[in-house]
């Protein structure tokens, strides 16, 4: 028993740096300690922790080797014998690095998937925009064609002359061509006053603006000789203020 206590004292001296807290005014000294051994066991989650130095009791306090517990809590312990310093550091977790690498790979995969989905969304939005443009274009073309037929029905025999009215353009700009065969109607055409031609132009322009899809369209037009393709008059309509000009003069 005395031999074991003597060995305990020697062990305690070796472990002194881990047994007693350091302070700025600590003095270097040697002390004889009476250690009691009671076959002390350390259990971690129900499993006994092995150690080469048996835990012991000094003055009612149980002392456990620091290196043993460092292994339990995944710490690295080093002893600096020159400076009498114990260094405690966290152990690198090999499983953690593997998990981190897996997470990074998963993040990269998800980012790539997101980029692919964003590209797909952009493509679908472009397709939708093209479809809407085409659909709107088809709708406007139908509106213009129907309006052209209606204008020819309404004004094709204006003043008992044969007129042909054609429209082209879109909801922003409409071009109008009013043609007459002057090889057949020259004398009757010459007999028409400017006010009657202005009335024809004004009615056609207003009928175009009465169409809801074309109410904001600026209009440019000509009256031409279908036989020679010579322009006889030009006209235009400004949708912003509703003004109509015939051969440069406002009607």
pLDDT at position 191 over 50: yes
State residue 22's pLDDT score. 46
> Which token pair is 74?
């995944």
Bridge partners of residue 174, in order along the sequence:
169, 219
Q: Which two tokens stand for residue 67?
A: 């290196």
Selected residue with higher pLDDT from 174 and 18: 174
Six-digit token string for 122: 């952009």
**What pLDDT was estimated at residue 182?**
96
Domain boundaries, the chain: 2-90, 141-250
Q: What is the pLDDT of residues 82-96, one digit of tens each?
A: 998 999 888 776 666
Least confident window among 10-14, 46-50, 76-80: 10-14
């Amino acid at each position: 028993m005395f031999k074991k206590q003597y060995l305990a004292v020697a062990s305690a001296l070796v472990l002194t740096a881990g047994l007693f807290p350091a302070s700025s005014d600590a003095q270097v000294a040697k002390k004889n300690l009476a250690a009691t051994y009671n076959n002390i066991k350390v259990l971690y989650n129900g499993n006994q922790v092995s150690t080469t130095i048996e835990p012991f009791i000094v003055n009612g306090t149980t002392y456990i080797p620091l290196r043993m517990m460092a292994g339990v809590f995944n710490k690295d312990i080093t002893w600096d014998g020159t400076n009498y310093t114990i260094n405690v550091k966290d152990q690198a977790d090999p499983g953690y690095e593997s998990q981190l690498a897996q997470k990074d790979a998963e993040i990269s995969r998800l980012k790539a998937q997101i980029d692919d989905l964003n590209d797909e969304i952009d493509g679908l939005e472009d397709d939708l925009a093209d479809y809407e443009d085409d659909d709107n274009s088809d709708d406007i073309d139908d509106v213009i064609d129907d309006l052209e037929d209606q204008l020819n029905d309404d004004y094709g025999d204006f003043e008992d002359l044969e007129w042909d009215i054609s429209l082209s353009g879109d909801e922003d700009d409409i071009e109008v061509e009013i043609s007459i065969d002057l090889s057949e109607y020259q004398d009757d055409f010459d007999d028409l006053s400017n006010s009657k031609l202005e009335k024809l132009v004004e009615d056609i322009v207003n009928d175009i603006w009465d169409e809801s899809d074309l109410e904001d369209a600026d209009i440019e037009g000509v009256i031409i000789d279908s036989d020679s393709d010579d322009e006889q008059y030009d006209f235009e309509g400004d949708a912003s203020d509703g003004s109509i000009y015939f051969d440069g003069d406002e009607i």
